Amino acid sequence: MTRFVLGRIGFYTLIAVLLAFFTVPLLWLVTAPFTSDPTYEVRVPDFTWDNFAALLEHPYALPSLWNSVVLSAGTAVLVVIFAALAAYALSRVRLPGRDALLYALLLLSSIITGTAAMVPLFQLAVELNLIDSQFGLILILTGGLLPAAIFMLKDFMDSTPKSYEESARVFGASPLQIVRDVVVPLVRPGLATIAVWAVANVWGNFLMPYLLLSDVEKQPAAVITYTLYTEGGQANLSMLSTFGLLYSIPVVLMYLFVSKKYGFRFHGGIKR
Amino acid sequence: MALRKRSVGVVAVIAAAGLGLAACGQSSSGGGGDAIELTIAQNAIQGGKNEAAAKFIADWVIPKFQEAQKAKGKDVTVKFVPSGVDDEQYKTKLSLDLKSGKGADVIDIDSIWAGEFAEAGYIKPLTEVAGAEADSWDGWSQIPEAVQGMTEFNGKKYALPVGTDGRVLYFNKTLFAKAGLPADWQPKSWQEVLDAGTKLKSSGVPVPIQINAGTAMGEATSMQGVLPLLAGAGGEVQQDGKWSGASQPLKDALGLYQKIYGGGLGDPKLQQEAKGRDKSFQQFADGKIGILMEGDYFWRGVVNPKTGVAKMADRDQVVGYAMIPAMEPGKGIRGQDFVSMSGGALRTVNPNTKHPKEAFELLTFMLSPEALKEETKDGNVRITPRSDVNKEILAGEPLLTFISEKVLPLTAYRPPVAAYPQVSVALQEATAAVVGGTAPDQVAADYQKKLEGIVGGAGNIAS
Amino acid sequence: MAAIELRGLTKVYPGGVRALDALDLVIPDGEFFALLGPSGCGKTTLLRTIAGLETATGGAVVIGDRDVTGVQPGARDVAMVFQDYALFPHMDVTDNIAYPLRIKKVSKNDRRDKAAEVGARLGLEHLMDRRPGQLSGGQQQRVALARVMATQAQAFLFDEPLSNLDARLRLEARTFLKKLQRELGVTTVFVTHDQAEALAMADRMAVMESGHIRQIGTPAEVFQRPANTFVAGFIGSTPMNLLDGVVRGDTLEVAGCKVAVPAAAEGRLSDGGKIVYGVRPEYMTYSAEPADGALGGKVSIVENLGASHLVTLDVNDVNVQAVVPEGSEPAVGDDGYALPRRDRALVYLDGELV
Amino acid sequence: MAQATSPPETRPEDEAQAPRYSSDAAGLGKARAGAFAAPALLLIAVFLVFPALWVLYLGLTNYRLTGTAAAEPQFVGLDNLLDAVSNPTFWSSTWLTVQFVLGSAVIGQVGLGFAIAWLLRDRRGPLKRVVEGLVILAWILPSAIVSFLWVALLDRDGGTLNALLGLPGFAWLLDHPMLSIIVFNTWRGTAFSMMLYGAALGNVPPSHLESARLAGASGWQQLRDVVFPHIRGHILTNLLLISLWTFNDFSPFLLTAGGPDGKSEVLAVHVYKVALQSGELGYGAAVSTIILLINLVVAVFYLRLLRSKK
């Protein structure tokens, strides 16, 4: 009995520490936007809406959020569809050198997300006439994210029992039907995870959108965030914190939606 | 989705090739009657960085220029391409654009980039791009020699100057009064600065002197720190094509750092913080810093009672300023008693433009007295490159007048070459080492070693 | 409904594992046929090859009058219940049952009607909205059955359909499944490793070992006259006594005792030949008194089987088992004699039944 | 006998993985599998492999963003690599990166992520949602914003942490820069591991855990004997990806700018400084190549480690 009580106490202490660890850094984000002249100090706000009013007048802030949505949703959709098909094929059909290929692509993908790749990517975009095109940027971002997405999804695919597909196959379902009716629903939590992961990656990406999109009306919020500085490079904290809050809300909503609708887990229940 | 709207693209590459041949620019590309579209790029954006500049272009330059061109029978539309990022990122983007034969027709660059851009072929001498008009522009006569020098590389003008600035020592008169120092303080040597610091310290000022050091502040350490001190000790980073290594002036400059930060007159930690410069502003505004070396931007943009990031309602009463003294009178560069450093922005015509003449016209239009006056009204006063305009607009601005009249004549500029950014980082590292406690001689020797690696061997370094 | 015929069916996996070795088998229309064997014997491979999930390396699969060897699984008109049932966890019971019809593009209403009809027949009416995760093992099994029934396929293939049920449920399901198959009359092949299951349910069965069929027959035939020592050892809830022996004229010498030559082997043995003498413990008559032709020894173990006992005798260091009805069981250490029933005793020469 | 001849794609070469089951459960066949993978592979080839190889090539030149070397870059072979390995800054960066990856990825994110997933494995309801939601929030917030949050947290004067701990003036970012960015990155990235392990733990059959518990296994023994064997593959994937990402993570720059005096200049920050701030793209690409090689070694190490126990 004491062991049980101690266990409970230990559990809730741990949870409390975790909650504190993950909450305290966020305090600034929820107080600064409502403070008149925010500094780095977390203070009880004076609950002003002036910062939001100022942001509403910003010519690019709100449109840039929409651009962020377009870029990240577009990338997430492409990543999920292409990665799911590829991961399924690679999971089910053994091609020679498959694993080595995946590892090699994964390693290369780390190079492409680094700073050093900006020149090749820029010039590639120029050659393919994809400069200043959101679609082009989506393709480039998708290419960088696909290997890791395939890698993760293949894991999900590998761990789904094959009898589901065989069953559907005996009933006469075509491979595409099997993917649609059986595989996709089974790995839906995996797909949701990948989608959120892709969105989070694109949502915060600054360098590539900045370099590849010249037209400010196409630039995402990450780029606009960087503009909220003064001539001398000083952060405009009232704008930054306020925009930061608005900038964060869509991803939080997306997470809540996805986790409610699909959950981030496998379906349990069937014992194997 | 959206494809490119501008036509400045692949076509421009071909146009650029044609331009290279038409050396003196007599080609009549973009003849009258056709619709001409010009784009102009700056690291400025409405609602963000350099907002005033962005607004000025959108609200005044574009309509007025289009109007003026229409009066000449030309159908010109101008589009502004805003940015609002770190200078390095802006530079990267410009470089990539220019390398690929793209980019806006009129672009703003930092004067320090002129050399490396020219070496890379990203920009070309104005006469090559825009023709002989570039030399015969009547504005040149109003621009001081030194300011014109910013636009030159290997003896050729690559751009028009957009503006310039200067560095001074700011001080808090309230703190000075408490420490028994005069309100019209003007030190004549480094020792006087140190003495003032000591007095401030004994009167309880937490940070008597703030002279930027370390890598965290980046170029601010060079411009508002080691370079003015170097100049005050009679040295320059590069002279006559040779880089200065572990020279005596460098050792002297580093020695001053040692005296300030080793002697408890400065806050060594602040120099290391990623946002240390922001903090130094805040602390000055809060009355915690006695003496601060900064540019005129500090006055205009930081402690500005209306629009500053660290507003001081009583700026005009409390903040004093003085010229930066040489180590000792007459020991500064060119034998000066006082020194400063200046930078500035340039505006040039993209060699890839289809309409170089119109682009150059836009350039000169924006530097016309009317435009400059318009741009600098309503509290946006800055030092323009034109003496005629400065006389008029700086009248009500004591600090800017001070800089324009007293500081600019004795200021110095950074060498506009590709290796400079790395040399600058090496200098910043040197100051960091001194602040961290290493002896200046040792640091200077290390700097020389690093310098050799950057500039390609000891042969490029003056002993 | 259709018969299933396998002709020289061979399956070789890469790496040379010969899972099926030239199998010939005919399963008549409407028969309930069991594939029995230890794990790894190839029975599941055989079932999956019939289904088309495995591609035959050689030979042919004929269902009805159609050679389906190269036909896709979905086009073979067979339905399969998997060992784990393979119920789609994201669909409710109705959708699971109706899934095969959805593939056949049956309209939504017809699908639901059919699912409801089949579900009702299997007592699933009140579970139609549930997901598989919310069902018990027995319920899941019935949903899986309902799903194959909804297909109205020519043949049903069951892969260990009862192995995921607990022991009690398994017996009920056995009876239920057999009854259902009778009613539907669909040719059904089912795989099991449990010989009791095969004996209880199948009309006919095949016993397999390492890719070969070792015996085909009715459960009675297989139980009473196993064609070889492998089958003899595999079939039966208590293992058959398989005793080394030597032919001595018209008698056999087994475990140091003389026993009579079984009726079926009479006149077919040569003197002095080594044989294996087989007799099920159930076909032994036990007595405490010596008897002619009986195997005598000391009782070493007595096991309770419920209505009877399994007595193990130590006959000259050879274990011989006999089933003794309740009430007459001996005590350990007693002398005992087990007399084989001559009409049920078997002789194996080189492993094959004589 | 209408269909005596078989369509060609129905006889794929034997693709069986295990001798017992063919892994191609849906009857995809190689041709169709190729078609499924083609769009992804095409995008990867054009937008990843090609530019990545280009980066590797740049690493062999003296290419710069500006200056004469931008106009006419020259092939310098392995000079950049040799420069890097003879540069003490590079080695200190490498060492810092190793600390960063071990501390924030392997111990921090993987450890904390697993711990949270394990603590919450049987929980439902608001507590779980709140904890998971907060952890994931830290992950999906854009780094440009997050850096401000952490500066506000760790600031020397007005920082929340110092206010909470009663340590005014304690300079976390200056005196403990590596600890700061390690904790920061743990905070930032734990969500991914937590989600992955949450999903993986859902796959551990409860019966196995129950039998271990019945056998009297302690919590740790349950983990070691039942859970880890089941989720070994997930651990491998997770370690691999997390390490790879952390190696290339540039966000510490936003917190410390690599300082003070390079004491938190991990390799990704080093590359950023070299490539973007100094414009030395050739050298930056060469360092990227070295990072790639280190990652390769790390990946092989993980594979060995987790395969050998199978």
Please state the φ and ψ torsions of residue A39, each to the nearest 5 degrees. -120, -165
% chain B with pLDDT above 70: 93
How far apart (Å, rounded) are the C-alpha atoms in residues B461 and B448? 8
**pLDDT band at residue C36 using 50, 70 and 90 as cut-offs:** very high
Model confidence pLDDT, tens digit, residues B101-155: 888 999 999 988 888 899 899 999 999 998 888 888 989 999 988 888 888 888 8
Nearest by CB: D65 against B95, B429, B433: B95
Instruction: Give the count of domains, chain A.
Output: 2
Residues A78 and A132 placed together within one structural domain of the fold:
yes
User: Is any Cβ of chain B less than 8 angstroms from the Cβ of A98?
Assistant: no
* Level-2 CATH architecture, domain C4-234: 3-Layer(aba) Sandwich (3.40)
Q: Is the CB of B49 less than 8 angstroms away from the CB of A132?
A: no
Do A and D count as touching (3 or more CB pairs closer than 8 A)?
yes
Name the burial class of residue C139, with classes exposed (0-12), middle (13-18) and buried (19+) by CB atoms within 10 angstroms of its CB.
Answer: middle
Compare CB distances from A108 to D49, D160, D240 and report the shortest one's residue. Answer: D49
Considering the domain architecture, whether residues A104 and A169 belong to the same structural domain is answered as yes
**DSSP state at residue D7:** P
Looking at CA atoms only, how far is residue B19 from chain D in angstroms?
Answer: 18
Instruction: Kindly list the residues from chain B whose CB atom is less than 8 angstroms away from the CB atom of residue D171.
Output: 269, 273
| DSSP 8-state code for residue C228 | B
State mean pLDDT over D194-223. Answer: 80
Right CATH number for B167-342+415-462 from 3.90.950.10, 3.20.20.70, 3.40.190.10, 3.40.50.300?
A: 3.40.190.10
Q: Give the per-residue pLDDT at A233.
A: 67
Whether residues A86 and A129 fall in one domain: yes
Chain D positions in Cβ-Cβ contact with residue C166 (cut-off 8 Å): none
Q: What are D285-310's pLDDT values in tens digits?
A: 999 999 899 989 998 888 888 765 44
Average pLDDT over residues B202-225: 92
Ordered DSSP codes for B23-39? TT-----S-TTSEEEEE
* Average pLDDT, rounded, for chain B: 86
Say what the pLDDT of residue A268 is.
Answer: 30
Q: How far apart are CA D54 and CA B315, in angstroms?
A: 54
Closest residue in D to C58 (Cα–Cα): D11
How much is the average pLDDT of B233-237? 91
**The predicted structure's pLDDT at residue B26:** 36
Q: Are A243 and A228 spatial neighbours (Cβ–Cβ below 8 Å)?
A: yes
Nearest CB to C84 within list A171, A177, A270: A270
Interface ipTM > 0.85: no
In the predicted structure, residue C280 carries a pLDDT above the cut 50: yes
Task: Return d(Cα D80, Cα D55) in angstroms, integer.
Answer: 13
Name the CATH superfamily, with its identifier, for domain D92-307: MetI-like (1.10.3720.10)
Q: Which tens digit of pLDDT belongs to each residue from B19-41?
A: 333 333 333 344 445 788 999 99
- CA B446 to chain D, closest CA, distance in angstroms equals 13
pLDDT at B27: 35
CATH node for C241-353: 2.40.50.140
Q: Does B199 touch chain A (CB under 8 A)?
A: no
CB D194 within 8 A of CB D119: no
Domain containing A11 equals 2-33+40-48
- Domain parsing of chain B, residue ranges: 10-158+344-375, 167-342+415-462
Chain B residues whose beta carbon lies within 8 Å of the beta carbon of residue D258? 215
Tens-digit pLDDT profile for residues D242-296: 998 898 888 888 888 887 778 889 999 988 888 888 888 899 899 999 989 998 9
CB count within 10 Å of CB D288 equals: 29
Closest partner residue to A171 (CB to CB) among C74, C84, C137 is C74
Q: Phi/psi of residue C78, each to 5°?
A: -120, 160
Residue D28 three-state SS:
coil
Q: Are B346 and B157 in contact (CB under 8 A)?
A: no
> What are the average pLDDT values for consecutive 10-residue runs of chain A, which has 272 residues?
80 90 90 85 83 86 91 95 92 81 87 82 89 92 92 81 87 87 85 87 89 88 84 77 89 81 47 24
Confidence of residue B191 (pLDDT cuts 50, 70, 90): very high
Q: pLDDT class for D21, splitting at 50, 70, 90?
A: very low
Size of interface C-D (CB pairs under 8 A): 44
Cα A197-A203-A205 angle, rounded to 5 deg:
105
pLDDT of res. D60: 93
Chains touching chain D, criterion 3+ CB pairs below 8 Å? A, B, C
> Which residues 124-163 of D have a C-beta within 8 angstroms of B?
151, 156-157
User: Which of residues B18 and B387 earns the better pLDDT score?
Assistant: B387
Tokens of B20: 């290279």
**Which residues in chain B have Cβ-Cβ distances shorter than 8 Å to A133?**
1-4
Neighbors of chain A by Cβ distance (3+ pairs < 8 Å):
B, C, D
The model's pLDDT over D113-123, given as tens digits with 9 standing for 90+, comes to 999 988 888 77
C-alpha of D16 from chain center: 32
The SS3 of residue C255 is coil
Segments in A113-205 forming alpha helices (H):
118-127, 134-158, 162-170, 175-178, 184-186, 188-203
A227 and A253 housed in the same domain: yes
Percentage helix, strand, coil for chain D under 3-state DSSP, each rounded to 5: 70, 0, 30
Please tell me whether residues A105 and A20 are part of one structural domain: no
CB count within 10 Å of CB D170 equals 16
Q: Considering CB atoms only, which of C13, C67, C72 is closest to D14?
A: C13
Q: Which CATH superfamily is domain B10-158+344-375 in?
A: Periplasmic binding protein-like II (3.40.190.10)
Contact check, Cβ <8 Å, D51/A112: yes
A44 and A69 within one domain: no
Cβ contact (<8 Å) for B89 and A57? no
- D127 falls in which pLDDT band (50, 70, 90)? confident
Are the C-beta atoms of A217 and A206 separated by less than 8 Å? no
Residue among D26, C191, D16, C166 at smallest CA distance from A161:
D26
From A170's Cα to the closest Cα of chain C, the distance in A is 4
- Residue owning tokens 């196959």: A169
Asked whether residue A193 is domain-assigned, the answer is: yes
And the tokens for A269?
A: 């229940």
Report CA D113 to chain centroid distance, whole Å.
13
Residues of chain C found within 8 Å of residue D20, distances taken between Cβ atoms = 19, 44-45
CA distance D219 to D118: 11
| Contact call for A60 and B46, based on CB within 8 A | yes
| Helical H segments across D257-280, by residue range | 267-272
On average, the pLDDT of chain C sits at 89
C79/A185 CB distance under 8 A: no
Domain boundaries, given as residue ranges, for chain D: 92-307
Of the residues B85, B87, B88, the best mutation for testing chain D's interface (the one with the most D CB atoms within 10 Å of its CB) is B88
Q: State whether A210 and B82 contact (CB < 8 Å).
A: no
Q: Is residue A266 part of a domain?
A: no
Domain ranges across chain C: 4-234, 241-353
Look at strands C274-279 and C308-315 and give their pairing: unpaired
CB B320 within 8 A of CB B176: yes
pLDDT at position B324 over 60: yes
What CA–CA distance (Å, rounded) separates B409 from A103? 62
Spatial CA neighbour of B124 closest among B240, B48, B228, B24: B24
> Please, which residues have CB within 8 angstroms of residue D298's CB and are 6 or more apart in sequence?
D101, D240, D243, D244, D247
- Does the CB of C308 have a partner CB in chain D at under 8 Å? no
- Taking Cα atoms as reference points, which of B141, B212, B201 lies closest to residue B175? B201
Q: Is residue D2 within 8 Å of residue C68, measured between CB atoms?
A: no
Q: Which residues from D are below 8 Å from A244, CB to CB? A: 142, 144-145, 148
**The pLDDT of residue D114:** 92
SS3 D3: coil
> d(Cα C218, Cα C205) in Å, to the nearest integer?
6
Count the neighbouring beta carbons within 10 Å of the beta carbon of residue A4.
8
Instruction: Give B289's strand partners.
Output: B207
C145 vs C156: CA distance, rounded Å:
10
Q: Which of C13, C44, C61 should be substituted to probe chain D, the one whose Cβ sees the most D Cβ atoms within 10 Å? A: C13
